[in-house]
Each structure stands twice: as C-alpha cells, then as structure tokens.
Amino acid sequence: MNQPIDLAVVGATGLVGETFLDLIEKKKIPVGKVRLFASEKSEGLKRTVCGVDRPIESLKAGCFDGLQLAFFSSGDDISKEWAPQAAKAGAYAIDNSAAFRMDPKISLVVPEVNANTIPKTPSIIANPNCSTIQLVVALSALKKFGLKAVRVASYQAASGAGKLAQQELLSQTKQGLTQDLTSTQFPVSLAFNCVPQIGSFNADGLCSEEVKIQKETKKILNLPSLYVSAFTVRVPAWNAHSEAVWIELEKEVSREQILAALHDQPGLQINNEIERYPHARMADGQDPVFVGRIHRDSEDTKTWRMWIVADNLLKGAALNGLQIAERIFAR
C-alpha cells in the first residue's frame, strides 16, 4: 500500500464511517483523493482527513469516477443503489451493509479467515456483520478439529445501533431508574436493562441479527451445513460486543491443542489467565478479537466454551473493511 489510494467513504458521518477515517489516519494509509458522502442534511459540513479539510457531499451520478476504493456504511438501501455504481466505475466497493452479504456471487470476507475469496478485479466485497466477524475469527482456528455445532449468546453494545442509540443510552441512564423512560432507538429502554431483540423478527421467531450470524458464519467458514444457533441481546454496554460461545467439535482434543490453535490464529488475542478474561471496557478501542474463559464444557468432553469480545466498530466493521482494502492494494 505505497501508492496513494483515491477513495470514498459513504456514510462518513456515522460511527463506522468516522472510525474508518480515524483508522486511515492512525495507520498512515497513503491517500490521494478522499471523497466523503453522507445524507443531504450533512451537505456543506467539512471534516479533516489526513490534515486536509474535506467537504461532505451528497451521492450523485458519476461521483465514484476515478476512485479505486469506496467504503460503504450507510444502510442497505444506499448500498443496493450505489455500491454497484462504484464497482462499475472501477472501484473496489467494500460494503458494510447487509445488502450483498448472502448473495452467492459476492464474497463475504474476514481477511484472517478467507482472504482467498477477495476478488481480483474491482467489484463489490461484503464486510460481515460485527457479531459474526469476532465469532468466525475464533471458529476458524478450531475448524481443523471439525466443527459440529456452535451456539452463541451475544451481549451487544449500544454502539452497534449507532450514534443516536449511544446518546439515547446515555440520556436514559442519566434520567435514572425510577422513571418510565421513552425509547426511540431501542425497542424498549436499554438503561439498566437487557433487550433480547436486535433488528426485526421473522416468522420463525428469530431476529435479523440472529439470522445474520447464522447464515454469515456458514458462508465465511464455507461450512453450509454447520449448526450455528445465535441468541442476540442488546445490553447497556457502551462499545464492544461480547459472546458466550459453545463450540461442539467432531472429536476430542486436548486443552493444549485448543490453546495452540487459538494462539496461531491471526487477529486473535488470548486473555485466558484466571480472572483476566477480556471484557467490553478493555476491548473498546482495540484492534484484536479477544478470547478468554476457554474451557471444556463440564457436560461434554467434545464441547469447548469461551468468551469472545471485540470492538464492533473496529474489527466488527471499519477495521475489517480496511484490512480487506490493505489486502487488495498490497497485491
């Protein structure tokens, strides 16, 4: 990545878009043109990227011309309409929405897991769901032992629901405990609560976040018939998602083998000393996927349980997208 890249960020004023721009500066990615897109209400605002003031623009025909990379994090509808145009204009369109993830023609990429699926020519590349990414980084390490079933209960932070949601959690929390709090960003008030709904429900009683984890995990791991059952819950954590995971393996393996496999997994950091498990506050702002509380299920010798935590804005979104870009432009 020595040649400057001409790029666009669509959704530049959202939490993930801002995190992507922060990462470009922090990791000193060489950039040329940087075009920032957001909704019309942000038009006319400016944002400094790599020392240069850049205007916030609205999307319009031809806006991706001459760019090599476009990072999208602005919702499914915007991506459906504009990501194909970016790809057609010759840019790699790394899309953080759910619009293309399950499209069989589109690669769904976590670089440490399936970098081999990154396309060789400009096209749309899907960035997986935040809670999926941290899960598959750990699962990938154990795939060689034969994955039989994966059950995950998630503890997902407010930041996954966006900037307004974080602000709402804060104001609800300040209003305290006794009042009947109103909620617009969450289905019910999240302050001092747990809400077992992320997204909307389907006819089978699953919410969309659960469907995402289940389908995306199978696709990324290239294990279409793997048992993956996810129960997703929003908790009043500020940032970083946590997951309690049961991993049932085909065969019995030793604790040393499990730890060695996880240790060798790029992108994964083991914090497994007693009482030194990872947690959301410590993962906030950190790049790796953290794993701790790694232990054999007392009820089944082939099942391993662990606690997986990652910053959902970083590895769960912007950082994973940037890592895909780094793989592309390192070629």
Is residue 262 packed enough to be buried (19+ CB in 10 Å), middle (13-18) or exposed (0-12)?
Answer: buried
Q: Could you tell me which stretch among 12-20, 66-74, 257-265, 301-309 binds a second copy (CB under 8 A)?
A: 301-309
Does residue 194 carry a catalytic annotation? Answer: no
- Check binding of 199 to a second copy (CB under 8 A): no
Does residue 130 carry a catalytic annotation? Answer: yes
Which residues are within 8 A (CB) of 134 and not within 5 positions of it... i.e. 6 or more apart?
A: 241, 243, 289, 308, 309, 310, 312, 315, 316
Residue choice 72, 82, 155, 290 for contact with a second copy (CB under 8 A):
155
- Check binding of 310 to a second copy (CB under 8 A): no
Torsion of CA 14, 15, 20, 24, to 10 degrees: 100
The first and second tokens of residue 330, run together, are 């390192």
Q: Report the side by side order of strands in the sheet with 303-310.
A: 227-231, 147-155, 241-249, 303-310, 289-296, 268-270
Minimum distance of a second copy from residue 23's CB (angstroms):
21
**From 50, 63, 130, 295, the catalytic residue:** 130
Which is nearer to a second copy, 119 or 187 (by Cβ)?
Answer: 187
- Site for a second copy (CB under 8 A): how many residues? 51
Q: Could you tell me which stretch among 9-17, 51-59, 105-113, 269-277 binds a second copy (CB under 8 A)?
A: 269-277
- Check binding of 148 to a second copy (CB under 8 A): no
Residue choice 244, 259, 286, 327 for contact with a second copy (CB under 8 A):
244
Query: Which helix H or strand E contains 174, and what residues bound it?
Result: helix 163-175
- Check binding of 214 to a second copy (CB under 8 A): yes
Q: What's the half-sphere exposure (Cβ side, CA atoms, 13 Å) at 326?
A: 15
The string of DSSP codes covering 176-196 is -SSS----SSSSS--TT--B-
- Check binding of 204 to a second copy (CB under 8 A): yes
Query: Rounded to the nearest 5°, which phi and psi values hold at 126?
Result: -90, 135
- Check binding of 316 to a second copy (CB under 8 A): no
- Check binding of 256 to a second copy (CB under 8 A): no
**From 241, 263, 279, 295, the catalytic residue:** 241
**How many other C-beta atoms lie within 10 A of the C-beta of residue 142?**
20
Please name which of 161, 213, 148, 214 lies closest in space to residue 190, comparing C-alpha atoms.
161
- Check binding of 292 to a second copy (CB under 8 A): yes
Minimum distance of a second copy from residue 101's CB (angstroms):
17
Where in the sequence numbering do the catalytic residues fall?
A: 130, 241
Residues forming contacts to a second copy in the complex (CB under 8 A) are 149, 151, 153, 155, 173, 177, 187-189, 192-197, 201, 204-206, 214, 227-229, 231, 233, 235-238, 242, 244, 246, 274-275, 277, 279-282, 292-300, 303, 305, 307
